[in-house]
Chains A and B, each alone.
Chain A
Amino acid sequence: MSTSLEIEAEVVTSIVDQVWESLLGSGAPEWHPDLPADPAGLAAEVALRGDWNGSVRVSCDPTTADRLARTMLAVGPDHPLPEDDVHDALGEVANVVGGNVKGALGGDTSLGLPVVAVRTDGRTPVTRRAVAWHGAPVVVEVFGDGDSTPPPTGETTAS
């Protein structure tokens, strides 16, 4: 069986809340629905392959990504933070959200390693949630493979 990812919005909401609590030490306040939430900048994406197929993507602008990383690492604004660490941090957020989406769906699906790149548009998510982080949106999107571009070029591990 090989199905395109489908998941209820409230399951994703619950997952995002818990991930924020765990990695960022606080709740995930909603980004105001009337404000634009298509941040130009970075996107970290993990692919799901197997019984369920699609991906989970977390996007935000570069400054916000830097802030997220600093919070996760508990370092202050003056601490030197290489870009690799910022990408790593965003990737890990995508990894944990994606992993929990996979767990919620059940079945036999493997999770790819996070791929971090410049965010591109053009796909319609199955569900999305925008949360606010220091005045900017962080967008979590779940894509089914009916909508996706070819899988990101990350290695997938045997699982």
Chain B
Amino acid sequence: MTIAPDAFAYVRDLVHRESAIVLESGKEYLVESRLTPLARDAGARDVNDYVGSLRARTNPAAMKAVVEALTTNETSWFRDGDPFSALRTLVFPELARLRPNRSLRIWSAACSSGQEPYSVSMTVMDTPQLAGWRLEVVASDLSEEMVTRARAGRYSQLEVNRGLPATTLVKHFVREGAAWKVSPQVAAPVTFRQLNLVRPFPPMGRFDVVLLRNVLIYFDLATKRDILRRVRQVLAPDGFLFLGAAEMTMGVDDTWERVPAGRSSMYRIREECR
């Protein structure tokens, strides 16, 4: 069979939204071959049928499976670039001025296989204003399996090729067999835990920065609002929130104000809502 143009377009848009990966025309064969097992498992007649059922009724788990099937489970380091530049050039210098106790707490709330929290740790190490500061990065994910993987801090050649400048690779990673491992200095401030955002958060204290990137998309509006509300409760009043590149609080929660940061954006709690 050949995947129908509108089914391909739907999958292409979904994958682009979630992963920045572009599936140009010519990749129809790839989409078909990667989705056929999913379609089969779901009892659909074929990939077109399967995609049709996804479009008819939003199914976050199925959408996630589709994206993962097409992006080979590799997430990038310093994903989208700008948020990490913003941390280094805007957020951390600002917090360095505002925090007399020289300590920072950061939450990576959908950490997946760990690239994001380790990228945060590396960014702190590369920010001169934070030299000698105490850092705690709490990293969490819904999947216990992901958390275990992330905690190990080991990555394959394919994974370290993803968005990691070569200078950063040699500075912050060591070889371990066929793989690369984050250095002890990068790993030390980071702790991992399993956490379901939909459930009440366990006591975690307040955070100066929360990264909630590319995960809200899987939830309906009411759940998004609820999660953002509870995130606001654990964020320091002058703290910063980062969402995924294509995400925004507009239309979801108006207690946040958007602060431009390169091509990406970050959010702070509105003055009057603090």
Contact = CB atoms under 8 A, between A and B. Distances in A.
Contacts, number: 24
A106 interface: yes
B175 A106 contact: yes
A103 B156 CA distance: 12
Contacts of B157: 18, 100, 103
Interface residues of A, number: 13
Contacts of B178: 11, 14-15, 100, 103-104
Nearest to B74: A21
Interface residues of B, number: 10
Contact of A11 (B30, B33, B158, B177): B177
A27 B30 CA distance: 13
A51 to B, nearest CB: 14
Contacts of A106: 175
A106 B158 CA distance: 18
A26 B178 CA distance: 20
Nearest to A104: B178
A50 interface: no
Interface string A18-48: 1001100110000000000000000000000
A18 B30 contact: no
A34 B157 CA distance: 31
B177 A104 contact: yes
Contacts of A26: 33
B158 A21 contact: yes
B72 interface: yes
Interface string B43-73: 0000000000000000000000000000010
A25 B177 contact: no
A22 B158 CA distance: 8
Contacts of B33: 26
A11 B176 CA distance: 11
Interface of A: 8, 11, 14-15, 18, 21-22, 25-26, 100, 103-104, 106
Nearest 5 Cβ contacts at the A-B interface: A104-B178, A11-B178, A18-B158, A104-B177, A14-B178
13 contacts: A11-B178, A14-B156, A14-B178, A14-B179, A18-B156, A18-B157, A21-B158, A100-B157, A103-B157, A103-B175, A103-B178, A104-B177, A104-B178
